[in-house]
Amino acid sequence: MRNWPGWTRPELRAAPRYADRPAAGRVLAAGLAERTWHDPVVLGLVRGGVPVAHEIALALDAELDIVVARKIGAPGHEELGVGAVTASGPAVYERATLDALGLSVEGLAAACARERAEARRREQLYRGARPAPSLAGRDAIVVDDGIATGVTARAALRAVRERAPRRVVLAVPVCAPEAEFDVELICPHRPPDFRAVGRWYTDFEQVTDDEVLALLGGRGGTGR
């Protein structure tokens, strides 16, 4: 991870929280705008990543689109993500967590199928009849509002890489200090006492489908 000039100002270092997702997106965009991008596409993870991604797309004058990845929760503790899946392709699992909980991929097959179906439903809701934009030969900037375990982001990154982009970058306003990925991670705030993404926002209300559609420029559309 590199530090960008806009992210090292004393007033940003002193701020313990982002006001909300758009504010976090503007901070992230300030650093990203200093870099050179080749025909970039900004891909917001649905739903919380989209308001962050929207600000970045505005700053870069880039195309905005979505990537849908759904968490697979542990049985009886669905808030604990042990894996994630997108609309197509294999699921991604946290193998150490599965082993620690005595879970198997086979035992999670029904949950995986359910979340894959929901991912497909959401893609249809947000895109309508419009196909996903081509990423071939372009820089793909995958954006979320923060990263804790990272399993959902890994599923999203797998799906994005399959679309043959020139380069893939993961950009988030805040993440756990131990977060690591097989692509470049750009994150201005990695607090040692991270605990949870929502802790670093004053306003962390759930993003609605209507808000996502509005940011994309209307039902079934993508925008700049």
- What pLDDT score was predicted for residue 27? 95
**pTM confidence score:** 0.88
Average pLDDT over residues 66-72: 96
Q: In this structure, which amino acid lies at residue 194? A: F
How many other β-carbons are positioned within 10 Å of the β-carbon of residue 170? 27
Q: Both tokens of residue 25?
A: 């997106």
Q: Are strands 184-186 and 167-171 parallel, antiparallel or unpaired?
A: parallel
Task: Read off the DSSP letter of residue 73.
Answer: E
Integer Cα distance of 159 and 30 in angstroms = 27
Tell me the C-alpha to C-alpha distance, in Å, between residue 58 and each of 63, 192, 203: 9, 31, 21
pLDDT digits 0-9 by tens, 125-161: 998 888 899 999 999 999 999 999 899 999 999 999 9
Q: Both tokens of residue 2?
A: 């590199």
- What would the CATH number be for the domain defined by 5-69+126-215? 3.40.50.2020
Smallest CA-to-CA distance from 107 within 118, 96, 120, 93 is with: 93
The full set of domain ranges for the chain reads 5-69+126-215
